[in-house]
Amino acid sequence: MESPRTLFDKVWDDHVVLTDDDGVDLLFIDLHLVHEVTSPQAFEALDIAGRAVHRPDLTLATIDHGVPTADRELGILDPLSKKQIDTLIANCERTGIELFDISDPRSGIVHVIGPEQGLTQPGMTIVCGDSHTATHGAFGALAIGIGTSQVEHVLATQTLSQPKPKSMSITVDGTLPAGVTPKDVILGIIARIGFNGGGGHVIEYRGSVFEDMSMEGRMTVCNMSIEAGARAGMIAPDETTFDYLRGRPHAPTGPDWDAAVEYWRTLATDPGATFDIEVVIDAADLAPYVSWGTNPSQTIRITDMIPDPESFDDPHDRDAARRALAYMDLEAGTPITDVPVDVVFLGSCTNARIEDLRAAAAVVDGHRVADGVRALVVPGSGLVKLQAEEEGLDEIFLDAGFEWRDAGCSMCLGMNPDILQPGERCASTSNRNFEGRQGRDGRTHLVSPAMAAAAAIEGRFVDIRGWS
Amino acid sequence: MQPVTVITGQMAPLPRANVDTDQIIPKQFLKRVERSGFGPFLFWDWAQDAEGELDPEFILNRPEYANAVVLVSGPNFGSGSSREHAPWAIEDRGFRAIIAPSFADIFWGNCYNVGLLPVVLTEEEVARLTELAGDPANVVTIDLASQTVTSGDFTASFDIDPGAKHRLLNGLDTIALTLGHADEIDAFEQTRPRWMPSVKSANV
Ligand code: SF4
């Protein structure tokens, strides 16, 4: 009898083209997503070597990192961003790769548009020159972030040579307490397993909390797998997945749909399969979280106080905490709810889907952004923006004093004009709170959309559970 | 890619954990479409203050470390983004290898593709090397073939995936190697189910 296999094993095994003498597998790649920042050098090298793009039909390009999210009619004013974007447009024209241009409502953040178009499906291998490619694992795909040399390799061969990572399961069973969102689940997981706790592993998220979660929520969770150092994150496909996919532009139809679903149902981890690491978390132990430091594991519950660096046993953690408090200008022992914010950013591939905007709008409705706070909403894609406008969410945000922007990465990393000024403190729904990530000397606190919205209204962090 | 065989020279100590890609090369320098020229922006926010004043204490600004070829740092080096600009910047600045107790996965893979050797040693070994690196007169030798690191009377050995080692030692072009398997790739493509999506065919 075949030994029991995990979801990850099955997707991996189904894509092995060959195994070399050293035991390294060459994997076929079903979908390659491309954006303007990590691809120009790959196209150039390909061109110099006289190599063609092997499967333009399995490659989709978008422009997201460097685009302005306001006053688009002015064009791209930053000459370097403009050159980078023009280079991608030219490369796609030359090689026959489909590109969602800025004017296309289907354009947006690369990890938002793939699922939206139904291009992200269970059991696929998906790569992108971007670490948050893990997002697509929410569908039971194996989705891996790669570097530019690997982008070039995939363009030329539609394959990727990879030693197989180890496997890790994170099981969260039970019912989430009120006010605890998928973002809090993943922040809680990272706080528990550490900034590199998933290093060298592919995580499968298991248990009733993920079974009960929407696709948007699953994407939020898988998106941040990389913030625990994991190679990828995956969730087994189920009825929620199929319902999300049915009818999307690239989803199979008719008999093809039936054949696909039949295959997708076989992907779940077999009973008795084991993982190299198994972590179990009780849903009841989770709470709304806020990050206080400069890596995503430096996170506390909204009811906690800023920790004392001396309380960390590990010398690296202690040193990192000291540096983080100095950078973040925080004092140990301060309740996080006493910390004021200057900016609120609702956006990024972690939390800028329609459900995220709905959750934030529900909090904001009928309130005003606190004096002195700048708050902006940047939808994840043009289609998310349109949908939100159809539902009147834009009005709710605008009435409350939020800025309502066009889609893009925006202040998640500030490659476009949306950046924090030195010293500004931001409640952000993005995924990384590294030093300078949102702007030099800017201070990022990672939170859920609802918590970010409440922080905008109050001008400081508040516990969404007791807030009305 | 240039073959990597023996690397000998000065070490620069950067003893902190979780050095992330946003520190190695901040986002404002990712707009270049070229493959080279990232070196001057390496560790930009640590090397100078907001006014552009160089911090004379920062290790890479110290003239006595100008010739360093090996960076010695803390665990989880290269965490964060997939930007290959990070190893490009380190390489462009003259480094040939990085020694740390652990590396982030994507960064680690990128280093191999760039020809920058990532070497994992134990915490104790890295601590000892960091000490040795404190004296710019000390020299380290990394021998890839024998998988050893030596500096004075310090010696340590490291693991490396045999395939990666072979490619580095011979400076092989991995794309050419894979294209050598074009027939197997073609055969695999024939077996893909017809319902798998293609970007070119939408049902609208
Ligand atoms: S939104 Fe942020 S994390 Fe996501 S792809 Fe864009 S820059 Fe990267």
* Ranges of chain A whose pLDDT falls below 70: 1
How far is the first Cα of chain A from the last one, in angstroms, to the nearest whole number? Answer: 57
A381 DSSP assignment: B
Amino acid found at A116: E
The percentage of residues in chain B with a pLDDT greater than 70, rounded to a whole number, is 100
Give the pLDDT score at B52. Answer: 85
Cα R_g (chain B), whole angstroms: 20
Buried b (16+ CB within 10 A) or exposed e, A64-98: bbbbbbbeeeeebebebbebbbebbeebbeebebb
Structure tokens at A64: 């997201």
Mutation target to probe the A interface, by most A beta carbons within 10 A, among B53, B79, B189 is B79
Enumerate the residues of chain B whose CB falls inside 8 A of the CB of residue A327: none
Whole-structure pTM value: 0.96
DSSP-based helix, strand, coil % in chain B, nearest 5: 35, 20, 45
What pLDDT was estimated at residue B1? 78
CA B126-B127-B129 angle, to 5 degrees, is 60
Question: Angle at Cα A41 formed by Cα A38 and Cα A44, nearest 5°?
Answer: 140
Shortest Cα distance, chain B CAs vs residue A409, angstroms? 12
Task: Give per-residue pLDDT as tens, B70-117.
Answer: 999 999 999 999 999 999 999 999 999 999 999 999 999 999 999 999
Residue B204's pLDDT is what?
Answer: 57
Give CA angle at A147 (A105, B77), nearest 5°.
120
HSE toward the beta carbon, residue A345, CA cutoff 13 A: 33
Quick one: pLDDT at residue A23?
Answer: 86
Q: Which residues fall within 8 angstroms of residue A5, CB to CB, at 6 or more apart? A: A13, A269, A270, A273
Question: Are A84 and A37 in contact, with CB atoms under 8 Å apart?
Answer: yes
Q: For the residues of B99-110, what is the DSSP string, one character each?
A: EES-B-HHHHHH
**Cβ within 8 Å of B, A 397-426:** 413-415, 422
Please state, in angstroms and rounded to a whole number, the distance separating the CA atoms of residues A429 and A224: 12
Token duo for residue A198: 């998933």
Q: What is the DSSP letter of A224?
A: G
A235, A205 Cβ separation under 8 angstroms: yes
Q: Is B84 helix (H, G, I), strand (E, B) or coil?
A: coil
Residue B32 forms contact with A (CB below 8 Å): yes
Q: Which positions in chain A touch B48 (Cβ < 8 Å)?
A: none
Two tokens at A432? Answer: 């990384």
- Residue in A78, A147, A259 closest to B113 by CB: A147
- The whole-angstrom separation of Cα A45 and Cα A148 is 10
Note whether A115 and A139 are within 8 A (CB): yes
CB of A223 closer than 6 A to ligand 1?
no
> Ligand 1 within 6 A of A130 CB?
yes
Asked whether A124 lines ligand 1 (CB < 6 A), one says no
**C-alpha to C-alpha distance for A142 and A82, rounded to whole angstroms:** 32
Question: How far apart, in whole angstroms, are the C-alpha atoms of residue A381 and residue A410?
Answer: 12
The ipTM assigned to this model is 0.93
The residue whose C-alpha atom lies closest to atom 6 belonging to ligand 1 is A409
3-state secondary structure A25-85: EEEECCEEEEECCCCHHHHHHHHHCCCCCCCHHHEEEECCCCCCCCCHHHCCCCHHHHHHH
Interface check A362 vs B, CB under 8 A: no
Look at residues A184, A179, A78 and name the one whose alpha carbon lies nearest to residue A446: A184
Confirm if B28 and A415 have CB atoms less than 8 A apart. Answer: yes
Q: Is the CB of A63 under 6 A from ligand 1?
A: no
- Residue A253 sits at φ, ψ, to 5 deg, of -130, 165
Cα angle A395-A401-A403, degrees, rounded to a multiple of 5: 75
**Nearest CB to A252; choose among B161, B166, B195:** B195
Round to whole Å and give the CA distance between B85 and B81. 10
Which are the contacts of A82, defined by CB distance < 8 A and separation ≥ 6? Answer: A75, A76
Instruction: Determine the distance from the C-alpha atom of residue A265 to the mean position of all C-alpha atoms in its chain, rounded to a whole number.
Output: 25
Q: What average pLDDT does chain B have?
A: 95
Query: Which amino acid is located at A77 in the chain?
Result: L
- Rounded CA-CA distance A294/A111 in Å is 24
* Extended beta strands in chain B, E state: 6-14, 68-73, 97-100, 117-120, 139-143, 148-151, 154-157
pLDDT averaged over every residue in chain A: 96
Q: What 3-state class would DSSP assign to A282?
A: strand
Place of tokens 């997945």: A241
**Distance, CA of A314 to CA of B166 (rounded, Å):** 37
Atom of ligand 1 minimally distant from the CA of B81 = 8
Q: Report the DSSP beta bridge partners of residue B11.
A: B70
Chain centre distance of CA A335: 28
A413 Cβ below 6 A of ligand 1: yes
Q: Are A114 and A98 in contact (CB under 8 A)?
A: no
